[in-house]
Amino acid sequence: MINTLILAEQKQAMLAAIVATSDDAIISKTLEGVITSWNQSAERIFGYTAEEAIGEHISLIIPPDRLSEETYIIGQISNGQRIQHFETLRLTKQGLQIPISVSVSPILNSEGLVIGASKIARDISEHKTARERQAVLAAIVNTSDDCILSKTLDGIITSWNKAAERMFGYTEAEILGKHITLIIPTERLDEEKYIISEVKKGNKVDHFETIRLAKDGRQIPISLSVSPIVDDKGNVIGASKIARDISAHIATMDENKRLYEEVKALNEKKDEFIGMASHELKTPLASVSGYLQILKTMIKDEKAEKFLHKATVQLKKITALVTDLLDVSKIEAGKMQFKSELFDIRKVAEDAIELVALNNKNHHINLDTTHSSLFINGDAHRIEQVIINLLTNAIRYSPGQDRVQVTIDANLQNVTIGVRDYGMGIPEDKLNQIFSRFYRVDNSNPQISGLGIGLFLSHEIIERHKGHIWAESNLNEGSVFYFRLPLTPTQ
């Protein structure tokens, strides 16, 4: 008898200790709802001490709009029924509503009659926030336009979103638990080994462009990003994949490539045409020039002689244009040839000045140099063409002015020739474009026509002589064009 008593006391003490140390709130109440016990966790969760709560009605912690729940619970308990994991809200002393999961059991007396209820309540705020966060993530994953799926390190698919269903044609139910190789073309199985080995090392694989297989056998070009899934101890336990269909992107790239090739082919055709046309024009121009020269010896009439002279000047202009066009097409075809001879560039500059001055009586071209002769190696005729081009531009683009200044400077390595005018100048933002083919700063000025070829040819000629050409300019004040060439050492 004493033994049974001792055992009962020990059991009681043990239960009391469990109740006291439990993380859950453990509360008991009568069938009328009067609180009869209140453990430490109940104090912590609801804010009332045992003294404050015991003897009070349980509605102390029930939000007013949930009082009907209590009637239902008591009804169940009176019938000897238990209630398990009932999720609801309860009120703390501070007036906060907290989400809890509650289990309620009837308390029976020695005759088996229900005399009260014991409640175990668990604060599920954190659990609920985690669940809500998970729901938000799940919603994002499912509404994403990218395929998002996860798999174990052995390649078993563990999640599969709606976009993946649409792209690959497998439903989530069909594919969960299947191996990822289901969507990998046989010849690309090695990729999976590589991806998994990277993920195992904790590395991400970003924007990996590849091809995957849809259920109907279609090959889909995709861009893949794979990240390791890590557990709370930091171990990699799987991989999450985001796949984007890049068919449209690839189609656009293919189209761009096709258009580029088309434009390139058309451009080549145009260059070819310019080349052919200028070549065809050269022969009749040469014979017209020949006939004009013969006529010159035959004509004695002063008026006729004047017209003949005008015709010859115009013919020279056409011939120069056709020659320039032919040169452009030679450059484009990589067929421009240069002679290699030693010549005095000062002499060439003087000849060019003389020639240009002869045809432009309104401008005075002044040469400023301290060097008598300067030898370089290259094509004298082509270098003369550059100087003539710079001089004629200096004259054409300085209407109303009357002088052009030429300078020749040299050190031991290089010679630099400058052609300065006091004309309209070039806007700063256009300066680096004037050496491009067919580029003209202002095409609208009918007084100064041109094709935008001269500087392009000059640039090519100087570069091919291992030199450099550039311009400095101030709008409405004038421009200076310089080119520098390596000197050939003379003994």
- 89 close to 98: Cβ distance less than 8 angstroms: yes
Site for ligand ADP contains 308 (CB under 6 A): no
Q: Strands, DSSP E only, in 218-362?
A: 219-230, 236-245, 341-344
DSSP character at residue 112: S
CA separation for the pair 395, 419 (Å, rounded): 10
In this chain, which of 346, 456, 465, 469 binds ligand ADP, going by CB under 6 A? Answer: 456
Residues 466-485 close enough to bind ligand ADP by CB under 6 A: 479
In this chain, which of 91, 434, 462, 469 binds ligand ADP, going by CB under 6 A? Answer: 434
| Beta carbon nearer to ligand ADP, 53 or 453 | 453
Alpha-helical runs (H) found in 59-217: 67-78, 125-143, 162-168, 172-175, 189-200
In this chain, which of 408, 424, 461, 469 binds ligand ADP, going by CB under 6 A? Answer: 424
| Beta carbon nearer to ligand ADP, 285 or 426 | 426
In this chain, which of 311, 450, 470, 487 binds ligand ADP, going by CB under 6 A? Answer: 450
CA separation for the pair 469, 416 (Å, rounded): 9
In this chain, which of 407, 441, 472, 487 binds ligand ADP, going by CB under 6 A? Answer: 441
Site for ligand ADP contains 328 (CB under 6 A): no
Alpha-helical runs (H) found in 360-453: 380-396
Residues 79-108 close enough to bind ligand ADP by CB under 6 A: none
| Beta carbon nearer to ligand ADP, 208 or 439 | 439
In this chain, which of 163, 167, 388, 426 binds ligand ADP, going by CB under 6 A? Answer: 426
| Beta carbon nearer to ligand ADP, 227 or 389 | 389
| Beta carbon nearer to ligand ADP, 94 or 476 | 476
Tokens representing 215?
A: 């259920």
Least gap, CB of 388 to ligand ADP (angstroms): 11
Site for ligand ADP contains 388 (CB under 6 A): no
Stretch that binds ligand ADP, among 97-105, 111-119, 184-192, 435-443 (CB under 6 A): 435-443
- 151 close to 239: Cβ distance less than 8 angstroms: yes
Least gap, CB of 164 to ligand ADP (angstroms): 59
CA separation for the pair 383, 461 (Å, rounded): 7
Name residues whose C-beta falls within 8 Å of residue 332's C-beta, 6 or more positions apart in sequence.
271, 275
Residue nearest to ligand ADP (CB): 450
| Beta carbon nearer to ligand ADP, 119 or 440 | 440
Residues 393-422 close enough to bind ligand ADP by CB under 6 A: 393-394, 397, 421
Cα distances (angstroms) measured from residue 415 to each of 133, 351, 482, 487: 75, 17, 10, 6
Closest by CA position to 164, among listed 64, 254, 280, 245: 245
| Beta carbon nearer to ligand ADP, 86 or 439 | 439
Closest by CA position to 240, among listed 146, 166, 143, 168: 146
Tokens representing 325?
A: 């066009």
Instruction: Tell me the backbone φ, ψ of residue 48, rounded to 5 degrees.
Output: -90, 140
Least gap, CB of 399 to ligand ADP (angstroms): 11
Least gap, CB of 476 to ligand ADP (angstroms): 10
- 487 close to 415: Cβ distance less than 8 angstroms: yes
Least gap, CB of 398 to ligand ADP (angstroms): 7
Name residues whose C-beta falls within 8 Å of residue 230's C-beta, 6 or more positions apart in sequence.
202, 236, 237
Residue ranges that bind ligand ADP, judged by CB under 6 A: 389, 393-394, 397, 421, 423-424, 426, 434, 439-442, 450-456, 479
